[in-house]
Amino acid sequence: AQSVSQHNHHVILSEAASLELGCNYSYGGTVNLFWYVQYPGQHLQLLLKYFSGDPLVKGIKGFEAEFIKSKFSFNLRKPSVQWSDTAEYFCAVNARASKIIFGSGTRLSIRP
Amino acid sequence: DVKVTQSSRYLVKRTGEKVFLECVQDMDHENMFWYRQDPGLGLRLIYFSYDVKMKEKGDIPEGYSVSREKKERFSLILESASTNQTSMYLCASSLGHGGATTNEKLFFGSGTQLSVL
């Protein structure tokens, strides 16, 4: 069965620091990969997604993620975070003909 | 923009009560989903529907049922609420015909925080 691991439960950074949130999945075949974000008091929304092609995917608000097939990883990155990036981030994966599975989430807190 | 509306933001119920959570989407989406969100566990799929009157179990269907009589409305029912069903419930929808295997973007509602006392 496929699974998704987000090892960082809570990350605290200062503004302008660089961000990398880890996401690893367990499935040997072709997968679709997603990052969703939930800002305080708001609904979950899609940040970026990967289906095929260029493994470096750019999303909204300066975020990007890199799919590394050999490492079963899809880490989220941002070169310089802002206070407004404070949110909870969820990685999600679905294999072909399988349901979307979400990770446990990473809470990101940015110190002004 | 797609709007997914959940009828209640906060709900408090007693153990043993029958609870209805309502969700409506306004963009003619085929697929609708119910998740529960718990700290440290992320989102877990309870049920989903890929067409009117069609439903399939997700990963944690026990204690829940669903109803989809109209395309735009997907209801989650707790037949006899228990304290371990205290959680944030999220409804989502997506456009196409892939059911829960869709690789399409999910649109989420704002959630219903249910407390069962």
The model's pLDDT over B69-94, given as tens digits with 9 standing for 90+, comes to: 999 999 999 999 999 999 999 999 98
pLDDT beyond 70 at B96: no
**DSSP character string of chain B:** ---EEES-SEEEE-TT--EEE-EEESS--SEEEEEEEETTTEEEEEEEEEETTEEEE-S--TTEEEEEEETTEEEEEESS--GGG-EEEEEEEESSS-GGG--SPPEE---EEEEE-
Instruction: Tell how strand A64-68 and strand A73-78 pair up.
Output: antiparallel
Report how many Cβ contacts below 8 Å link chain A to chain B.
52
Residues 14-73 of A with CB under 8 A from B: 32, 36, 42-46, 49, 51
B41 closest CA partner among A74, A3, A35: A3
Which residues in chain B are contacts of A36 at CB distance < 8 A? Answer: 106
In whole angstroms, what is the distance from residue B38 CA to residue A76 CA?
22
Record: contact B103-A98, CB cut-off 8 A: no
| pLDDT at residue number B4 | 95
Whether residues B105 and A49 touch (CB distance < 8 A) is answered with yes
Q: What parts of chain A have a pLDDT lower than 70?
A: 1, 96-98
Contacts (Cβ under 8 Å, ≥6 apart) of B111? A43, B6, B9, B37, B88, B89, B90
Residue B12 has pLDDT above 70, yes or no: yes
The Cα B48–Cα B106 span in angstroms is: 12
User: Across residues B35-60, what is the average pLDDT?
Assistant: 91
Tens digit of each residue's pLDDT (9 = 90 or more) over A65-81: 999 999 999 999 999 99
pLDDT of B86: 98
User: For B19-43, how does the pLDDT look when each residue is reduced to its tens digit (9 = 90+)?
Assistant: 999 999 998 888 899 999 998 899 9
Are B103 and A105 a contacting pair at CB < 8 A? no
Which of B42, B45, B58 faces A90 most closely, judged by CB atoms?
B42
- The partner residue sitting opposite B43, judged by closest CB among A32, A42, A90, is A90
Rounded Cα–Cα distance for residues A86 and A70 (Å): 30
| The pLDDT value given to residue B99 | 52
Classify A61 as helix, strand or coil. Answer: helix
* Residue B65 confidence (pLDDT) above 90: yes
Q: Is residue A43 classed exposed, middle or buried when 0-12, 13-18 and 19+ CB atoms within 10 A define those classes?
A: middle
Using the Cβ of A8 and the Cβ atoms of chain B, whether some distance falls under 8 Å is answered with: no
User: What is the pLDDT, as a whole number, of residue B80?
Assistant: 97
Interface probe with A: pick from B34, B88, B106, most Cβ of A within 10 Å: B106
